Amino acid sequence: MPRLVMKFGGTSVANIERIRNVARHVKREVDAGYHVAVVVSAMSGKTNELVSWCRDAAPLYDTREYDVVVASGEQVTSGLLAVVLRNMGVPARSWQGWQIPILTDGAHSAARIQEIDGSNLADGFAKGEVAVISGFQGVHRETGRITTLGRGGSDTSAVAVAAAIGAERCDIYTDVDGVYTTDPRVVPQARRLPKVAFEEMLEMASLGAKVLQVRSVELAMVHRVRTFVRSSFEAPDAPQTDANGNPPGTLICDEEEIVEQQTVTGIAFSRDETQITIRRVADKPGVAASVFGPLTDGSINVDMIVQNISEDGRHTDITFTVPSADYERAMDVLGRLKEKIGYARVEGETNVAKVSVIGIGMRSHAGVAAQCFRSLAENGINIRAITTSEIKISVLIDAERVDEAVRALHVVYGLAG
């Protein structure tokens, strides 16, 4: 029998009635002839509550014990869903990360999956059982201690399990019915995309789209796991295939599956950005390494980088962006480096945002960047920094102009539904 992984996020399992709705979705796939593994998140708001308890208990908590606490949210959900399924006559059992086992490295609170042994799940399938798996968690292969995968880690759990058991596909059920050309709350005319290439989804996830966790997309791309983003709020007995025989929603897949490739697929944006500029740094070999090396050592993620040489040719200004959460730490690191680097001053700006144009069709079409810059200029939106790749263009702008910029770019690339 074919195997299917279904993942349900926190809003989908927020209370018992919604868990019953999830169970009806699962039963539908069991009745359709699938061996099903379900990966669940904690009930909506529960993880935040558990995290706050850890912080109240001790500001500098042990991350190993933190993982024990926050992993309990998914354990509750998996047990409840198994109870509901069994009450509906569907054989099911709950699985925790350490029972499967999902083996990870030792980076507590941000662990990465190293290996999954799917044989225990296969034994359960042979008995006709649905495997209800606690997402977001694993076990350190050396110490045997519980680990968690970072926020949004249940998506990663689901894709990794799908790869391990050779699932036909991985369905990610969430509170939206697919991936859109941009956030419909900003652009009401945004349309749902039937298919998105792995590379595009990876860029969109890393550049601000909240639909999937970045690591889950990476795993799906590496292991070629066909992934559907679907809505858990659709009726379980609603039609389950479109005109092409695919489930409703958005398919994340290989580029080769997408016959009609638009030049631009979507517009992503992130308000979680800050800009830092180091003024009058000596323009000599090794200066960039002396700036960005310590930031990397501090696990501070640097994104857009712009370097301008002064008129005298002996000094340079270096501008870059970091996530808002890393801003204070980055400024502290640079403050301690002033004597070593010998810069004049550091300037910071927190009222900035990043807007990105994404599409695999950009590889074979010229003029995409020019359209972007022209559109922003016509709307009087100043660009602070630019970074590009084969399939994306990102610009840093003033935060208060984000919605206007997204709407303008959405129109200029003809993305409206």
Q: Would residue 325 be called left, alpha or beta, if left means φ above 0 and alpha means ψ between -120 and 50 degrees?
A: alpha
Q: Give the span between the Cα atoms of 406 and 417, in whole angstroms.
A: 15
Exposed, middle or buried: residue 149 (CB in 10 Å: 0-12, 13-18, 19+)?
buried
Q: Give the span between the Cα atoms of 133 and 136, in whole angstroms.
A: 10
Q: Give the span between the Cα atoms of 294 and 280, in whole angstroms.
A: 19
User: Which residues carry a binding-site annotation?
Assistant: 7-10, 47, 74, 174-175, 180, 185, 210-211
- Indicate the angle between helix axes 327-336 and 287-297, nearest 10 degrees: 130
Cβ pair 229, 211 in contact under 8 A: yes
Cis peptide before 184 (omega within 30 of 0): no
* Start-to-end C-alpha separation, the chain: 38
Cβ pair 34, 166 in contact under 8 A: no
User: Which residues carry a binding-site annotation for ATP?
Assistant: 7-10, 174-175, 180, 185, 210-211
Q: Which string of b and e fits 89-122 if b means at least 16 CB within 10 Å?
A: ebebbbbbbbebbbbbeeebbbbbbeebebeebe
Of 351, 352, 347, the C-alpha closest to 278 is 347
Q: Give the span between the Cα atoms of 285 and 221, in whole angstroms.
A: 37
User: Which residues carry a binding-site annotation for substrate?
Assistant: 47, 74
Cβ pair 133, 40 in contact under 8 A: yes
Q: Give the span between the Cα atoms of 379 and 218, in whole angstroms.
A: 35
